Amino acid sequence: MQCKQTFEEVLNERGISRRSFLKYCALTAAALGLSPLMASKIAHAIETGPRTPVLWLHGLECTCCSESFIRSSHPTIEDILFNMISLDYDDILSAAAGTQLEEVRRRIMKEYKGKYILAIEGNIPTKDDGVYCLVGGDSFLNTVKETAADAAAIIAWGNCASFGCVQNAHPNPTGAAPVSDIIKNKPIVKVPGCPPIAEVMTGVIAHFHTFGTLPELDRLGRPKAFYNTRIHDKCYRRAFFDAGMFVESFDDEATKKGWCLYKMGCKGPTTYNSCSKIQWNGGTSFPIGSGHPCIGCSEPGFWDNGPFYGRLAKVPFLGSDSNADKVGIVAVGAAAAGAAAHATVTALKKAKQGGEENKDNA
């Protein structure tokens, strides 16, 4: 383990210039939603502080959060893993396994008591003494309690650890519970999504590493920098929503034209996340950009909140009491009237041209 080595020392070893380092800090500040003036503070913290020890546990989950994490571009996963944090325990990424790895976890807990971050991916089964998820012969429930006891803070990755997700959905046969239902005496930041956006995950770690505290949270425990606006508010299809132009079927012409997916069950109007701003895979796209409605995966209980393709009951239009059907009818009517007027004008022009030609021929 090399936790006492600073980021500056690592950069010097790699021959990275001061200019490149400051550029990296500015990008990190932007990713965190901070003022560009904060880049100097980030630089100072990274240059002078030791890397932050992180213990990453996996409960009931599908590992999609880890898959997302390793695809971060700002900052890159290489910067996070090798320069910013010391990822000392991870069931998925660690080379060691079994007893050897469990000994590492307990050693880090002892050497860095009160200083390490506990990151948890997946939720925690509680029924029958937690027998539905075992780690090293013990229940994951006990492992979480033991590791959380001396952690500085806890990061709950994904909807599973944050709100319960599919394992917690009715009838929840294993008693799966989110982290906040088990650990009550530690600061917890929830980073929901199925999975969370890679840059959001690394941004939360960068914030803790820089300031030594968790970022400002909303009422559900999510960092405001990434969850303060609805997907709907920044969606490029919002103009079609306001104009009442909706996709009615996944194979209609409106789908090809990229109209609003609200009537196909899009949960963008009630979902808070950065999908429409940061997007995925280095800003390549996001679900709505790929033609699929938002399923609201960063909200509590999204598996029990109705079918994915069920339309939301009521979403106000520009602060009015209208609805999608009324606005859609008006828009379609206006379009039909416009088409009719266009056809009429075209017919009159043709008739006029025909009359002039007849005069010339006479």
pLDDT in tens, 232-242: 999 999 999 99
Domains observed in the chain:
12-41+48-226 (3.40.50.700), 229-332 (4.10.480.10)
> Has 3 been labeled as part of a binding site?
no
Query: Do the annotations mark residue 260 as ligand-binding?
Result: yes
Mean pLDDT of the chain: 84
Closest CA to 194 of 273, 76, 269: 273
Report whether the peptide linkage leading into residue 50 is cis, meaning its omega lies within 30 degrees of zero: no
Q: What is the spatial distance between Cα 243 and Cα 322, in angstroms, rounded to a whole number? A: 12
235 in a known ligand binding site: yes
Nearest Cα to 272, choosing from 234, 215, 312?
234
Asked if residue 133 belongs to a known ligand binding site, the reply is no
pLDDT at 249: 96
CA separation for the pair 7, 3 (Å, rounded): 10
194 annotated as ligand-binding: yes
- Tell me if 165 is assigned to a ligand binding site: no
Categorize the per-residue pLDDT at 184 as very low, low, confident or very high, splitting at 50, 70 and 90: very high
294 marked ligand binding residue: yes
The answer, yes or no, to whether residue 204 has pLDDT greater than 50, is yes
DSSP string, 164-227: -TGGGSTT-TT--B-HHHH--SS-EEEE-SSS--HHHHHHHHHHHHHHSSPPPB-TTS-BHHHH
Calculate helix-pair angle for 198-211, 18-31, nearest 10 degrees. Answer: 110
Task: Tell me the average pLDDT across 15-22.
Answer: 72
For the chain, list the strands marked E by DSSP. Answer: 52-58, 85-90, 117-121, 134-135, 138-139, 153-157, 188-191
232 is in an annotated binding site: yes
Query: Any binding-site annotation on 266?
Result: yes
Owner of token pair 């780690």: 135
- Mean pLDDT is lowest, of 6-20, 70-84, 115-129, 335-349, for 335-349
Q: How far apart are CA 79 and CA 69, in angstroms?
A: 12
pLDDT tens digits, one per residue of 58-109: 999 999 999 998 887 767 777 777 667 888 899 888 888 889 999 999 999 9
